Structure 1
Amino acid sequence: MTSSSTPLYKDPAQPLAARVDDLLGRMTLEEKIAQMHAFWLILSESGEHRVRPGEAFVVASDADSVLRRLAHGIGQITRPLGTHSVEAGSGLRALNKLQRYLRNETRLGIPAISHEECLAGMMTRDGTLFPSPLALGATWNPALVEEVAAKIGFECRELGCQQGLAPVLDVSRDVRWGRTEETFGEDPYLVGVMATRYVRGLQGPRRDVLATLKHYAGHSFSEGARNHAPVHVGWRELNDTFLLPFEMAVKQANAGSVMPAYHDIDGEPAHCSRHLLTEVLREQWGFDGLVVADYVGVSLLYRHHAVAADAAEAAALAFNAGLDVELPADDCAQHLAEAIERGLISMTTVDRIVSRVLTEKFRLGLFEKTFEDPPAAPALRTPEAVATALEAARQAIVVLDNRGLLPLSPAGTPRIAVIGPTADDPLAMLSGYSYPAHVVLHDQVEDTRHVVTPLQGLRAIHGAENVRYAKGCSIIEVRKKGTPVFPGDVRAEGIQPSSPVSLRTDQIPEAVDVARDADVAIVFVGDLAGLFQTGTVGEGSDADSLDLPGVQQQLLDAVVDTGTPTVVVLTSGRPYNLGGLEDRIAAFVMAFAGGQQGGTAIAEVLSGRAEATGRLTVSVPHSVGAMPYYYNHKFKSGGTPIALHFGSRYPFGHGLGYTRFEYRNLEAPASPIPIEDGEIVISFDVANTGSRKGAEIPQLYVRDRLASVVRPVRELKAFGRVVLDVGEVLRVTFRVPVDMLSFTGMAGARIVEPGRFELGIGASSADIRLRAEIDVAGSTRTLEQNWRMESSCEIRPLSPATLL
């Protein structure tokens, strides 16, 4: 029992709901509102915390008033270690200092939730730098994604972080979009599987770090692929393509948080959509976590979208719709008392929201923490984490084309020319939400000596004396902030942003000389990730072309014209075309942003020390004119007659290895399959008929032959990762619940219809090796809430007798 001197809410033996009710009943209005927003502060070990400089737009208070308001408590602390360059131990001590103040010196002692960005690693100065999500998707290895996320979650816990603002569940539709690098790819099922594993890895079995699903929803299909732009989709497309990954991660991984997106859909901003934030997310899916705003997303309701007259009305719109916490600060939440007085929001709604926030804080165990400084320094960038980062970078690399040059011959020592602007730039290995690239926006420069570049990796394997280097050109000569509009003010007519991309060509002749004197030239081209036009890809760094940025195409043309066999390695956040050189080069490799071990992984795959096992999760379109393009399009998407620029040279699922695989002995399921609880069970053999060990990614695609609404030409429904020795044959069995043949019907609900379905098994969406057809029998069925959302892949070796 709780003693009379100890409040019930402080007794961990009491039921959670009782603790929440007791604490809520003790709170003043100011203390309740404080739980509904964050503060973005520069924390100090001394306790002299200050407002983050330059954030007047976000924090509408001076430093003294902010510190006074901390006496009411606070819902969240925004990026205490990810905002500024601080040694990890010092940053953790400063955070603990703040938490002890909240715990011990405020009236009610309510700790804060500390959140950080963690998309490609815990985004702090000393964190491990993992490959970008687009690279992780290319591994087609959900278990490895879960392992990566577990390492990130470990580093979050080491630094007192209870919520990570990842993963991104946006489904790529138009690769001009700068945030393409943040996605897992263009297929909603694959994105859902990868996101589910990321959430499980980050949160762990106790959900003591909250994963944040973003950007809810449809953010990646913006008008013209422009950041924040409107999204034009109907409910059926929204539900089947863009909401599916979120539904999977909520229902299968118990995701702790969701973040709405900046855009509007048919005039309704996501931050004030009761339909999305409450009816779909909580009532239909059963989500029980926190809905947190994207940074300044509530403010944009009145500053940009103009659906609210002022900050008080914007706060009321968002919180009435289902928002729980405004991030990164209190621009609108500080006006909630006024909103209550004006009748824009009720105390009942405020109490319901604060109850959800307190519930999560109790679940996280914050009230039982003392926040004392640990005796040892935080364990960051451990050998285990770095090894996982390297393995992820290896498995992500996709060989798009190879005319026999790769892997580089071990016979003799070839003279290698390493050329290109991304060959020896550590920042070229990093995505926009990697700490060193992220802080370019704030004119900060971080130590990147732990990032291995491709030049360093190749010299380590082939010897420095056999590798000559010439940069050839720059992508951006000086990395700095300077975008004239932040973030994307639509009223800025007359402002002409100037591109930071370099157009200098004076270094190309040296590169040509180096290429002529080599046995093979490896040209590294691509992107420099950076937010809001500080780079060529990343948030707010959208593209109007799929030509290589700057003068990289001129460099590549000049090197290929030397006649030296040329390998092109694209280190980028989106696919690019090579100006027609695809048929003239010896090999084309897509390496994405591989993180701090990206250079090592590239060198190992090019040399054959590691296998080429990556497969595309975004199609590489023929030209920018094909945009938006994705493999799971509708039959009429190409136009009539089919437009010449439509389609993809390197399709979804494509990737070459260094050996050969055959698909054999298809065993299709017996039809008809019952619509109520049926399962498609299809088996086949995969044989390694080449000369070396390798990994294959068998993929199952389904096409609905006849439906009540227009359906895609094909959809991924199952995949696996099969590693085979030379001559080995493995039996692969996919099990696909009939529920996964569902779609959103005319009435707006998810249904399964009877009928005939084409099954295709192959090495990519365009390389189908085995085919079958099945019938599903029964009456059209509306799916229940907990429908079967994921297939399985079973792999077993064949006995010698079976092989005869």
Structure 2
Amino acid sequence: MTDIFKDATQSPEARADDLLSRMTLDEKIGQMHAVWLFLNENGEHNVRSDQFTGESDADTLRQMLGRGLGQITRPLGTRSIDPAEGVRALNALQKFMLEETRLGIPVMSHEECLSGLMIKGATLFPSALGYGATWNPELIEEVGKMIGEEARAVGCHQGLAPVLDVARDARWGRTEETFGEDPYLCGLMATHYVKGLQGEKRDLLATLKHYAGHSASEGGRNHAPVHMGWRELNDMFLLPFEMAVKLANAGSVMPAYHDIDNEPVHASRHLLTKVLREDWGFDGLIVADYVGVSLLYQHHGVASDEAEAAALSFNAGLDIELPGDDCAKDLEDAVKRGLLTEETINEIVKRVLVEKFRIGLFEKPYADDSAVTLQSEKAVDVAREVAEQSVVIVSNDGILPLSGQKKIAVIGPTADDPLALLGDYSFPVHLIHNDEEEEIGNVITPLAGLKELIGDKVEITYARGCNILDERKAGAPVFPGDVDDSTSLEQASSLSTRLDMIPDAVAAAEEADVAIVCVGDLSGIFQTGTVGEGSDVDTLRLPAVQQELLDAVVATGKPVIVVLSSGRPYNLGGLEDKLAAQVMTFFSGQQGGTALANVLTGAVEPSGRLTLSIPKSAGAAPYFYNHNFKSSGTPIARHFGSAYPFGHGLSYTDFAFTNLSLAEDQVDCESGEIRLSFTITNTGQRAGVAVPQLYVRDELASVVRPVKELKAFTRIALEAGQTGKVTFVVPTDMLCFTGPQGHRIVEPGQFELMVGASSGDIRLKTKVALTGSLHTLARDWRMVSKTEIS
């Protein structure tokens, strides 16, 4: 008779119960953590040794693996390894697990996949800020699908993306990993990314991170404490996670490193169990952020040692410690000390086993090393389309699209540096932290893109102008705990101070009809770059001497187009009004240069819109469009606001918004829908793409509400002279907020409806009244608006 757990016709729950009943405590604990190894196809694996992992000899490693293992950490994404070889090495580990452990439980593999699968040779997509700037959720679903196909091909079962943090402070290095500053847009983009990545079967788990509020840290500093009440947390920072859990059936969630009101998220039973599992119905796996459990005793000081830290996290709701077994190795000690019960361990391990059965891991434990497909034509096409749709024309005096110029000077440190087009969780950039390099020949830079498209018609010259970093190298100065007192620590800047290349750039500009100056960031984690995880700043001035370069080129009097490739918005030293045009591309991925050239020349119509307001200065941070009325101070602070706010972006044509109408000006509070229609006419001389946006303001509420909130948006392509009718259908549930009792409610009353081209460019206004009595939302409330276009 076949054991129940080996019978694929049985339910995942029944198989998990049967297998669990056969396991020792050691074997159960093995399923509750990962190991970070350098895998070898001959089976001689080595533990990765750095600040994230400890060291282990071969006999100890074999003994540990013999008990079974929950996950293997980044088997192909830790170092530069041929994908087929990496698959064979992963299969070797899987063979050991199946054939040389007592119960033969296969291991899950996870990889990073924020801007593409983070392994050698995978497609390099734009950064998440670029995803957001498309305002095209369906396209981002295609991104998820393409990344999912590459992940499945190499035996990956869980991808550590997307990032649902709502951007709040541009100084924060991880701003580049977010979709933007609006919770609804972040939630919608994440929902579609998750749907694409996981597929209908959810046989590859997406991981929602960093749960939650990570982007609202003190001063925009990585890991710093977060100070906010439940209402703000729920309405602004939890909403995207709630949407992705309920609408996309997300398979995994990763808690964040920080503490909220002095409670570390990795130890918060309220957030990990009460909200996530009980209130929302989440049924997947909660996995720790790397070393997040050990930080409970190393940094937060809420646990005395590894065993207590592990007990705190697993009692709170954690399922698997990543990336290794820093604290999980001490779980048996935690049980002996009465800090954690075996009953709780059983509940956790059952969830892990159920997921392994549900994704079909027992039936298909191996990947086919002969069938690894990366960089498919479809994936590269999607990467280019995202890059094109994310280009934002911030300002334009008419010089764009380029036409009639005979000589163009392409200037700047990001003009011909492939790494300047890639975010911190792209494989080539991430390797810098390990002092390794990766081939980047498939990345098309702005210079290469322009030469390819118009180089036979226009003379293009190039001058670097300056460096951002003279040397890219690993090694952040210090981490908390490395020094006794971080408040008096003196750290030298790694930014370049060289000015000797500026004269050549000035000469190139003087000889050209127009200068395209490419400036911005070099992304890199832990201060290997100017933005990215752990690369936070205290200024929004362009890094290094890029401002001096820009000043000198503008001083020539030649028309200057600035192209900003970055992970955050930057100020341009007061030159904004002196530029012929300003363009933002964020990190545009391997097709970024082609996409930029297509948009600058008008081969592709610009349609990108900002999902981050550009603060007037670092002193204005944090600034976001959906602020409260009194956020500007009294009297209004001079530095408050944004000249280029959320939703802003220009086209090469003009659009008129007219004929606003409401189906009903009174709608039932509990069950109604607001149907708002208007027409958009392309009044210019060429085709274009409009991105109409609907904002709502609650005029009278029981708690303070934002001045406006995004509730619907769409993209509509119109030929010159063409008119389209847009109807937004907004369920009244979407006018909810967290009320005085801590629950989502919808109150009757008057709401202002604003239709515009951006949050700061409102074209049409009307009002609707919600009637009836106060309504408390059920678990499955209506979270998404609909759009009809004719």
Normalising by structure 1, report the TM-score. 0.97
Q: In the alignment, is the contact (CA less than 8 A) between 1:304 and 1:490 conserved in 2? A: no
Which among 493, 496, 500 is matched to residue 499 of structure 1?
A: 493
**Residue 457 (structure 2) pairs with residue 458 (structure 1):** no
Give the number of aligned pairs. 788
Q: Which amino acid is 2:538 matched to?
A: D
Task: Give 1:15 shift.
Answer: 2.2
**Alignment match, 2:12:** 16
- In structure 1, distance between residues paired with 2:494 and 2:312: 38
**Deviation string for 1:292-345 (max 9, x for gaps)?**
000000000000000000000000000000000000000000000000000000
Partner of 2:652: helix, strand, or coil? coil
**Deviation string for 1:238-273 (max 9, x for gaps)?**
000000000000000000000000000010000000
Task: Give 1:688 shift.
Answer: 0.9
Which among 421, 425, 432 is matched to residue 440 of structure 1?
A: 432
Which among 732, 754, 772 is matched to residue 766 of structure 2?
A: 772
**Alignment match, 1:482:** 475
Partner of 1:433: helix, strand, or coil? coil
**Alignment match, 1:214:** 209
**Residue 465 (structure 2) pairs with residue 469 (structure 1):** no
Q: In the alignment, is the contact (CA less than 8 A) between 1:158 and 1:378 conserved in 2? A: yes
Partner of 2:237: helix, strand, or coil? helix
**Alignment match, 1:286:** 281
Partner of 1:650: helix, strand, or coil? coil
Q: Which amino acid is 2:638 matched to?
A: L
Task: Give 1:200 shift.
Answer: 0.2
**Deviation string for 1:498-521 (max 9, x for gaps)?**
221101101000100000000000
Q: In the alignment, is the contact (CA less than 8 A) between 1:34 and 1:72 conserved in 2? A: yes
Change in CA separation of 1:361 and 1:496 when aligned onto 2, cut-off 3 Å: same
**Alignment match, 2:326:** 331
- Structure 2 counterparts to residues 124-523 of structure 1, below 5 A: 124-371=119-366, 373-374=368-369, 376-409=370-403, 411=404, 413-463=405-455, 466-486=459-479, 491-493=484-486, 494-523=488-517
- In structure 2, distance between residues paired with 1:377 and 1:750: 48
- In structure 1, distance between residues paired with 2:368 and 2:418: 33
**Alignment match, 2:28:** 32
- In structure 2, distance between residues paired with 1:173 and 1:223: 11
Partner of 2:643: helix, strand, or coil? strand
Task: Give 1:671 shift.
Answer: 2.5
- In structure 1, distance between residues paired with 2:69 and 2:491: 38
**Deviation string for 1:61-88 (max 9, x for gaps)?**
4343122211111000000000011000
Q: In the alignment, is the contact (CA less than 8 A) between 2:298 and 2:481 conserved in 1? A: no
Task: Give 1:715 shift.
Answer: 0.1
Q: In the alignment, is the contact (CA less than 8 A) between 2:153 and 2:368 conserved in 1? A: no
**Deviation string for 1:656-676 (max 9, x for gaps)?**
000111111111232220011
Q: In the alignment, is the contact (CA less than 8 A) between 1:60 and 1:330 conserved in 2? A: no
**Deviation string for 1:640-688 (max 9, x for gaps)?**
0000000001000000000111111111232220011000000111111
Q: Which amino acid is 1:783 matched to?
A: L
Task: Give 1:726 shift.
Answer: 1.3
- In structure 2, distance between residues paired with 1:487 and 1:169: 25
Tell which deviates more after alignment, 531-540 or 105-114.
Answer: 105-114
**Residue 746 (structure 2) pairs with residue 781 (structure 1):** no
Tell which deviates more after alignment, 758-767 or 664-673.
Answer: 664-673
- In structure 2, distance between residues paired with 1:253 and 1:75: 24
Structure 2: runs of 5+ lacking an equivalent? none
Task: Give 1:7 shift.
Answer: 1.5
Q: Which amino acid is 1:27 matched to?
A: M
Change in CA separation of 1:523 and 1:293 when aligned onto 2, cut-off 3 Å: same
Change in CA separation of 1:287 and 1:490 when aligned onto 2, cut-off 3 Å: farther
Structure 1: runs of 5+ lacking an equivalent? 797-804
**Residue 556 (structure 2) pairs with residue 562 (structure 1):** yes
- In structure 2, distance between residues paired with 1:87 and 1:533: 28
- In structure 1, distance between residues paired with 2:606 and 2:659: 26
**Residue 701 (structure 2) pairs with residue 707 (structure 1):** yes
- In structure 2, distance between residues paired with 1:121 and 1:793: 29
- In structure 2, distance between residues paired with 1:194 and 1:761: 21
**Alignment match, 1:802:** none
Partner of 1:367: helix, strand, or coil? coil
Task: Give 1:492 shift.
Answer: 4.7
Task: Give 1:488 shift.
Answer: 7.5
Q: Which amino acid is 2:682 matched to?
A: N
- In structure 2, distance between residues paired with 1:488 and 1:529: 25
**Deviation string for 1:173-219 (max 9, x for gaps)?**
10100000000000000000000000000000100110000000000
**Deviation string for 1:448-471 (max 9, x for gaps)?**
110000000111122177100000
- In structure 1, distance between residues paired with 2:137 and 2:753: 23
Task: Give 1:635 shift.
Answer: 0.2
Partner of 2:706: helix, strand, or coil? coil
Task: Give 1:483 shift.
Answer: 1.2
Normalising by structure 2, report the TM-score. 0.99
**Alignment match, 1:801:** none
**Residue 601 (structure 2) pairs with residue 601 (structure 1):** no
Task: Give 1:104 shift.
Answer: 2.2
**Deviation string for 1:518-557 (max 9, x for gaps)?**
0000000000000000000000000100000010000000
**Deviation string for 1:589-643 (max 9, x for gaps)?**
0010000001111111111111111000000011111111000000000000000
Task: Give 1:377 shift.
Answer: 4.1
**Alignment match, 1:539:** 533
Task: Give 1:58 shift.
Answer: 2.3
Q: In the alignment, is the contact (CA less than 8 A) between 1:324 and 1:353 conserved in 2? A: yes
Task: Give 1:482 shift.
Answer: 2.2
Q: Please tell me the root mean square deviation across aligned C-alpha atoms, in Å.
A: 1.1
**Alignment match, 1:656:** 650
**Residue 674 (structure 2) pairs with residue 696 (structure 1):** no
- In structure 2, distance between residues paired with 1:373 and 1:632: 49
Task: Give 1:8 shift.
Answer: 1.1
Change in CA separation of 1:578 and 1:161 when aligned onto 2, cut-off 3 Å: same
- In structure 1, distance between residues paired with 2:59 and 2:179: 43
Tell which deviates more after alignment, 158-167 or 457-466.
Answer: 457-466
- Structure 2 counterparts to residues 105-120 of structure 1, below 5 A: 105-120=100-115
Change in CA separation of 1:488 and 1:224 when aligned onto 2, cut-off 3 Å: farther
- In structure 2, distance between residues paired with 1:634 and 1:488: 37
- In structure 1, distance between residues paired with 2:301 and 2:56: 23
Q: In the alignment, is the contact (CA less than 8 A) between 1:758 and 1:771 conserved in 2? A: yes
Task: Give 1:495 shift.
Answer: 3.8
Partner of 2:362: helix, strand, or coil? helix
Partner of 2:526: helix, strand, or coil? helix
Task: Give 1:105 shift.
Answer: 2.1
Identity of aligned residues (%): 64
- In structure 2, distance between residues paired with 1:623 and 1:655: 20
**Deviation string for 1:421-465 (max 9, x for gaps)?**
000000000000000011111111111110000000111122177
Partner of 2:278: helix, strand, or coil? helix
Partner of 1:174: helix, strand, or coil? coil
- In structure 1, distance between residues paired with 2:131 and 2:573: 27
- In structure 2, distance between residues paired with 1:289 and 1:468: 54
- In structure 2, distance between residues paired with 1:489 and 1:276: 30
